């Protein structure tokens, strides 16, 4: 099946908006072009991170007008998640913490845990991460729009993989800029594989909470927060084990929930309106 036109419009707007800021930033960082300090300070605000949210809203408005945008935004406030609250909150801390713990059994040294120096800051950091370091900016786009519309034409697993590839490739210019996040200090294939596997997990959260974008945002926030609190990516051994754990969880999801909907067969998902 071919991707419908709304997906291509979304990709064009999302990548176009983000890369409008990220490509110049990368060129400056690589000393290919020079720019005034004011321009550098503006680029440091990382306005480009809002591309997926803008892409989702604008594309939805093009195809569904104001009513579609209202329905899209409403799914960001679907906070009644039942038991999925605990699944979403615990999945990434357990996987990331588990990978670091298992790595010690293979003789890998434990890295330092600077985030734990001020434990009182941990819940505040989660709120900051939720609103300003990816979840809010991205999940309306990758899960709320891309995955949602892709599963109209494909099995949910394939839709999640395609959305995950889009998500990973979108980050490409950031590999040419000096950044603190550990994923950008490793080969790009590592981030791409991560966005595919984590994208399937986030799609699983989303599909089982009746299309709650809030669930995907919370899962994304827990992923970012857990990687900050538990520095597994600083260990090569722990990083490889983490990939293995992601594969195990994804295999379990497919086995127990099926690839067609990522939802147990006895429970039909409630699918929001498509663009």
Per cent of the chain over pLDDT 90 is 89
Whole-number pLDDT of residue 247: 98
Q: What residues make up the domain containing 223?
A: 5-257
Find, among 13, 51, 7, 8, the residue nearest to 152 by Cα: 7
Instruction: Report pLDDT digits (tens) over 129-172.
Output: 999 999 999 999 999 999 999 999 999 999 999 999 999 999 99
Q: Is the pLDDT of residue 55 over 50?
A: yes
Q: Do the domain assignments include residue 262?
A: no
Confidence band, pLDDT 50/70/90 cuts, at residue 274? low
What value does the mean pLDDT of the chain take? 94
Q: Which residue has the tokens 């991707």?
A: 3
Per cent of the chain over pLDDT 70 is 95
Total domains in the fold of the chain: 1
Q: Do the domain assignments include residue 249?
A: yes
Confidence band, pLDDT 50/70/90 cuts, at residue 54? very high
Q: What are phi and psi of 82, to 5 degrees?
A: 60, -135
Q: Do the domain assignments include residue 269?
A: no
Confidence band, pLDDT 50/70/90 cuts, at residue 64? very high
Q: CB within 8 A of 140, min separation 6: which ones?
A: 52, 53, 56, 57, 72, 73, 76, 213
Average pLDDT over every residue of 175-189: 85
Whole-number pLDDT of residue 2: 58
Q: Do the domain assignments include residue 153?
A: yes
Buried b (16+ CB within 10 A) or exposed e, 45-78: ebbbbbbbbbbbbbbbeebbeeebbeebeebbeb
Average pLDDT over every residue of 75-81: 97
Whole-number pLDDT of residue 186: 82
Q: Do the domain assignments include residue 273?
A: no
Q: Do the domain assignments include residue 275?
A: no
Q: Do the domain assignments include residue 266?
A: no
């Amino acid at each position: 099946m071919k991707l419908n036109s709304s997906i291509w419009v979304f990709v064009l707007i999302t990548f176009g908006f983000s890369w409008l800021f990220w490509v110049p930033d990368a060129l400056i960082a690589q000393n290919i072009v020079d720019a005034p300090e004011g321009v550098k300070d503006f680029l440091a605000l990382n306005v480009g991170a809002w591309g997926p949210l803008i892409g989702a809203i604008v594309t939805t408005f093009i195809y569904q007008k104001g009513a579609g945008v209202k329905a899209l935004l409403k799914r960001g406030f679907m906070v009644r998640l039942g038991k999925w609250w605990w699944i979403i909150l615990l999945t990434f801390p357990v996987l990331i913490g588990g990978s670091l713990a298992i790595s010690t059994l293979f003789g890998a040294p434990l890295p330092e845990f600077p985030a734990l120096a001020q434990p009182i800051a941990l819940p505040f950091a989660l709120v900051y991460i939720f609103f300003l370091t990816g979840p809010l900016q991205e999940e309306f786009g990758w899960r709320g729009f891309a995955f949602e519309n892709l599963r109209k034409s494909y099995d949910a697993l394939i839709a999640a993989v395609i959305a995950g590839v889009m998500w990973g490739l979108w980050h490409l210019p950031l590999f040419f800029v000096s950044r603190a996040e550990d994923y950008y200090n490793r080969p790009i294939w590592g981030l791409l594989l991560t966005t595919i596997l984590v994208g399937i997990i986030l799609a699983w959260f989303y599909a089982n909470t009746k299309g709650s974008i809030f669930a995907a945002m919370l899962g994304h926030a827990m992923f970012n927060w857990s990687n900050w609190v538990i520095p597994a990516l600083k260990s090569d051994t722990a990083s490889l084990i983490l990939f293995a754990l992601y594969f195990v969880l994804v295999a379990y999801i497919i086995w127990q929930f099926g690839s067609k909907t990522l939802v147990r067969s006895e429970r039909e998902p409630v699918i929001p309106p498509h663009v």
